[in-house]
Structure 1
Amino acid sequence: MNHIVRLDEARAPRSPASMPESIVLGMPHLTASGLSEGWLLRELGHRHWLLLAAMAGMAVPDFRDTDGEPVYAAFSALSIRDTAFGEARENDVLTLSSEIARVSRTQVMSRHRLALQDRPIGTVELVSAFVRRAAGGGNHAVARVALGGLPPVEPGAAPGGLAALAAAFRHGRVGAHLGFALGRIAALAQATFDPCPSQDFNGAGFLYFTSFLAFVDRAEWRFARERALSAATIRRDVFFRGNADPGETIRVVLLDERPLPGAFAHRCRIERCGDGAVIADLFSIRRSPDAAPADGRRKFFEGPARRRE
């Protein structure tokens, strides 16, 4: 990562109490299956935002365009890799090591390494682009903007890794990912949700990026309740395409699935119900002691919950 800014080198002042690098885990940080993915991503999203301010030499992350209108960092992709979230227990110490770098004119990527009792338990990468709302467009119409004050992109540098993969997804240049052929579009099942403004939207009024994952987990719970009961994420890749306004319903569509040894994998898409627009593609590999054997004879999602709503 070029022009890296690390949290312990940030120029923006921060309080050790509000941005600890080591956290004693308690109920807010845990679920029945271990480390809370929702809490973790909210924490890392906040760190990403503060690191952006540090990269720009700002005391607080108050980004604005030339007209003085607020500019936000919208996540275009995230990747959770090599995780052992199921090992986390109350009173364990989680250590977060975070850094951020500019990867293109409008994009930055942060990388967060996780350790539990000094043992690595995974890495999370977040790619964001600066955006602003079009006048009167709500959450459907946003435009990318380039801001000054950030370190320059090195001459000849091109987005790599997750940023390049996200761009390829946006332009339809990816044929397969995590073992799934992307040409398959037949829905195996779907679940509809009505996002709640007080729970699922952030302070900027956007459907928050962590809510996308929460809807997929809720759909998984509907589709495969027994096996989802003890599921913990091993790998998750999410590619964001759009957003929704308060009052709009969304649906999670299960497009593909496959069993793995002691685990299961699925590919989902989130759509706005009103216009059918795809707002995210999600690929998940989840560990579960009740998962089907990897011989292809039993699918993970089976039974009456597979019906379309």
Structure 2
Amino acid sequence: MNLRLAPPAFDPPSLAAGAVESEIAFRLGMPQLSLAGLSETWLLKELGHRHWMLLAQMAGRDRPDFRDTDGAPVYAAFCALSVAHASFAALGENDAVVIRSHLRRISRTQCASRHVVLRDGRAMGEVELVSAFVRRGAGGGNHSVARVALDGFPAPPAGVSLGLPQRAAQLRAGRLSRHFGFDLDGPGGEARFEIDPCPAQDFNGAGFLYFSSFIAFIDRAEWHFDGRSASRATTRAREVFFHGNVDPGERLAVRWRAARRGEGVLTHHCRLERVSDGVCLADAFTERSV
């Protein structure tokens, strides 16, 4: 496979005031692997858990049980993710890997974590996750979540957060006109692939369609539209911006808006929509080795 070379070594970030970090080791086996190397779905689930545990650590708690002033549960909903410098196909059975993570607060309601996967001290991929604290509205469903600020965390830094948080804010505000080489203002393709999420497989314990399921649906759509020519496609880079969620029993559609092929590379822009009302749930930009 034509893989993007990983950085020569892990460059540990300098921790900002109030930031926290952790490190965990794994011996890769079948739960952590896919047909094409390290399982991105497994990795994202693990990193979502790391992010959640680091939030508790940042707040000085032994477990991440967050509640608002009325006692209602508060969750960290992911609003953006980035995968970069990924060489997941180079990882295989019995490889020993380390995941180094650090989390920082970026606003009153948002936190961002960065995770680096290392083998023998060499970075094999980086993942960034941006989350916002949310609670359900009076109706209790997944259509009516609202951001909330929590006490007990270090003060957010002054100024604008750059990088992934900034791109997410620009896209939500309609100020991002191009991304991954795609024109975001154009009509885009109309091909769509409908999915009926399974409550037993695709929703998390908080009752939300889990962020890793969005990625799995994007890969299923890629397989539907373009995958027969590349059964071992693997992610080189990916950015996903989350806008909404669904309740159990609701269908969603992955719209195949645009795609291009280069030598050994497939890049595409997908949009996930709620079938019942057409609301946009996520925009996903993916670069894959094929």
**TM-score if structure 2 supplies the norm length?**
0.93
Deviation of 1:284 after TM superposition, in Å, equals: 0.3
Which position in structure 1 is the counterpart of 2:241?
239
Residue 126 of structure 1 is aligned with which of 120, 125, 129?
Answer: 129
**Identical amino acids, percent of aligned pairs:** 53
Task: Give the residue type in structure 1 aligned to 2:19.
Answer: V
Task: Give the residue type in structure 1 aligned to 2:275.
Answer: C
Pairwise mapping of residues 85-234 of structure 1 onto structure 2 (< 5 A)?
Answer: 85-154=88-157, 156-234=158-236
Deviation of 1:226 after TM superposition, in Å, equals: 2.1
The answer to whether the Cα contact below 8 Å between 1:94 and 1:115 also exists between their aligned partners in 2 is yes
Deviation of 1:260 after TM superposition, in Å, equals: 2.1
Deviation of 1:183 after TM superposition, in Å, equals: 1.4
RMSD over equivalenced CA pairs, Å: 1.2
Deviation of 1:160 after TM superposition, in Å, equals: 1.6
Deviations 1:52-80, CA, capped at 9 Å, x for gaps = 00000011000000000000000000000
Which position in structure 2 is the counterpart of 1:57?
60
Unaligned runs of at least 5 residues, structure 2: 1-14
The answer to whether the Cα contact below 8 Å between 1:4 and 1:99 also exists between their aligned partners in 2 is no
Unaligned runs of at least 5 residues, structure 1: 9-19, 289-309
Deviations 1:87-133, CA, capped at 9 Å, x for gaps = 01100011100000001111100000111232211110000000000
Which runs of 4 or more aligned residues in structure 1 lie more than 6 Å from their structure 2 counterparts after TM superposition? none
**Bigger-Rg structure (1/2):** 1
Task: Give the residue type in structure 1 aligned to 2:98.
Answer: T
Task: Give the residue type in structure 1 aligned to 2:79.
Answer: S
Q: Which has the higher contact order (CA 8 A, sep 6+)?
A: 2
The answer to whether the Cα contact below 8 Å between 2:18 and 2:154 also exists between their aligned partners in 1 is no
Deviation of 1:137 after TM superposition, in Å, equals: 4.3
Deviations 1:123-165, CA, capped at 9 Å, x for gaps = 10000000000011400011100000000013x3322211111
Matched residue of 2:64: which SS?
A: coil
Matched residue of 2:261: which SS?
A: strand
The alignment status of 1:281 with 2:256, answered yes or no, reads no
Deviation of 1:184 after TM superposition, in Å, equals: 2.2
The answer to whether the Cα contact below 8 Å between 1:188 and 1:256 also exists between their aligned partners in 2 is no
The answer to whether the Cα contact below 8 Å between 2:19 and 2:105 also exists between their aligned partners in 1 is no
Residue 34 of structure 1 is aligned with which of 25, 33, 37?
Answer: 37
Which position in structure 2 is the counterpart of 1:6?
20
The answer to whether the Cα contact below 8 Å between 1:184 and 1:255 also exists between their aligned partners in 2 is no
Which position in structure 2 is the counterpart of 1:69?
72
Task: Give the residue type in structure 1 aligned to 2:20.
Answer: R
The answer to whether the Cα contact below 8 Å between 1:4 and 1:100 also exists between their aligned partners in 2 is no
Deviations 1:159-207, CA, capped at 9 Å, x for gaps = 2211111111111110000111111223242100000000000000000
Matched residue of 1:98: which SS?
A: strand
Instruction: Describe the shift of the 1:126–1:234 C-alpha distance in structure 2 as closer, same or farther (beyond 3 A).
Output: same
Deviations 1:250-277, CA, capped at 9 Å, x for gaps = 0000000011221110000000000000
Task: Give the residue type in structure 2 aligned to 1:189.
Answer: A
For residues 44 and 226 of structure 2, what CA distance do their matches in structure 1 show?
24
The answer to whether the Cα contact below 8 Å between 1:3 and 1:102 also exists between their aligned partners in 2 is no
Instruction: Describe the shift of the 1:229–1:4 C-alpha distance in structure 2 as closer, same or farther (beyond 3 A).
Output: farther
Per mean C-alpha deviation after superposition, the further-off stretch among 112-121 and 169-178 is 112-121
**TM-score if structure 1 supplies the norm length?**
0.87
Which position in structure 2 is the counterpart of 1:81?
84
Matched residue of 1:215: which SS?
A: helix
For residues 200 and 215 of structure 1, what CA distance do their matches in structure 2 show?
10
For residues 284 and 47 of structure 1, what CA distance do their matches in structure 2 show?
23
The answer to whether the Cα contact below 8 Å between 1:250 and 1:273 also exists between their aligned partners in 2 is yes
Deviation of 1:4 after TM superposition, in Å, equals: 5.0
For residues 24 and 160 of structure 2, what CA distance do their matches in structure 1 show?
31
The answer to whether the Cα contact below 8 Å between 1:55 and 1:150 also exists between their aligned partners in 2 is yes
